[in-house]
Amino acid sequence: MNQFQNRTIIRVGDEGSQHSGVSSHRSDSSLVNDVPPSAPAGASVSAQESIHRPINDEMATLRRSRFSTLRTTKLISKEMEEHNRENNIYEQMSGYKRLRQQHRKELKQLEERCAVEMEMLKQKTDKEYEQLINNFSKELQRVRNSQNAEKDKKSREFDDMEKKMRRQLTSQQENELKAFSNAQKKEYKYNKERAKSVYTLSLNIIRFPTRTVYETALKERKAILNARRSDAEAGFVREQRLAMEGEIRKLRRTRMTTLHELEEKLAAEELRVRSGQLEMSHALLRKHHEQTKELEYAQLNECQRMKRRHMDAQHEAETSNQLQYNQRAQDELLKKHALQSKQQPKELKVSVYL
């Protein structure tokens, strides 16, 4: 009986719960057939009951447990299919995540490269502008040095002219003063002799009663004549000094006018140089602005193209994943409907088909 029980368990485990009932029935019939024919009827009934009871209990236990330690091929296939389906979903999400990470990495690398290019362009433009400003400073300093040299030269020329004029006027005035002094001496001598003659004649005609009065009057006349001569010479010297000062002022006025005109000319030249430098610097700045704008536009277009390409790739991946998900859901529904159709009673199937 133990041999039959073990055979029954193996059959039920291999074929499923439906085959277990058939195998148990076959085992029961085999047990009934194996009873010796010589046994009495009461003994055969009790023997059959004693054999059927433990077998039925074991079959009921197996049906309830549904073979928790043994799994059929169908169940294993179903679990593997569910596991693969979960793995497919996980792979889809992992692939999408890797795609997003790769896109972020590419975009970050592009932004870093664009930043490096922009920094290199900025350094290049700053260097060009700084070099231009240095050249302008050197040129302007050279112009100013030339202008200062020209003004110094013109000032030295006027200084030399003033010195030369002073020497000339001094020499001329000395000669004039000498001639004037000689003329004054002659006049003094003439006036003195005349006064002496007049006083002598007056003495003869008893105008001066004594010789002492005569000499006193002559001395007074000489003093008056010397004072006149001194005053005339002093006035002449004063006139010469005023004339020299007038000529010097006239020369200095000419000097100031000439230097002022020269400064205006040099200032206009400096302004013209600075205006040209400003135009050149503005042209260079406009050129740098255009270069920066073109580079920014190119980088922006490249970033937008990359983002658009990434977006298209992500949309394509999402669409593919959605289609795969829809296909899996459709397959599951078809399997579910097929299983439900199999589980329906035959009469219902026939009526449904009819």
Give me the amino acid identity at 20: S
* Measured distance CA(173)–CA(181) in Å, rounded: 12
Whether residue 216 lies inside any domain: the answer is: yes
Whether residue 136 lies inside any domain: the answer is: yes
Mark whether 215 and 118 lie in a shared domain: yes
Q: Residue 267 belongs to what domain range?
A: 105-299
Mark whether 203 and 295 lie in a shared domain: yes
* Measured distance CA(286)–CA(217) in Å, rounded: 101
Mark whether 63 and 210 lie in a shared domain: no
pLDDT by residue, tens only, the chain of 354 residues: 444 334 333 333 343 344 434 344 334 444 334 444 444 444 444 445 555 566 666 666 655 555 555 666 766 776 676 666 666 677 778 888 898 999 999 999 999 999 999 999 999 999 999 999 999 999 999 999 999 999 999 999 999 999 999 999 889 888 988 888 888 888 888 887 887 777 666 555 555 566 677 677 778 878 888 888 888 888 888 998 899 999 999 999 999 999 999 999 999 999 999 999 999 999 999 999 999 999 999 999 999 999 999 999 999 989 998 898 898 889 889 988 888 888 777 665 555 444
Provide the number of structural domains found in the chain.
Answer: 2
Mark whether 68 and 154 lie in a shared domain: no
* Measured distance CA(17)–CA(63) in Å, rounded: 7
Mark whether 65 and 161 lie in a shared domain: no
Q: What is the DSSP string of 257-322?
A: HHHHHHHHHHHHHHHHHHHHHHHHHHHHHHHHHHHHHHHHHHHHHHHHHHHHHHHHHHHHHHHHHH
* Measured distance CA(305)–CA(103) in Å, rounded: 12
Mark whether 262 and 155 lie in a shared domain: yes
Whether residue 238 lies inside any domain: the answer is: yes
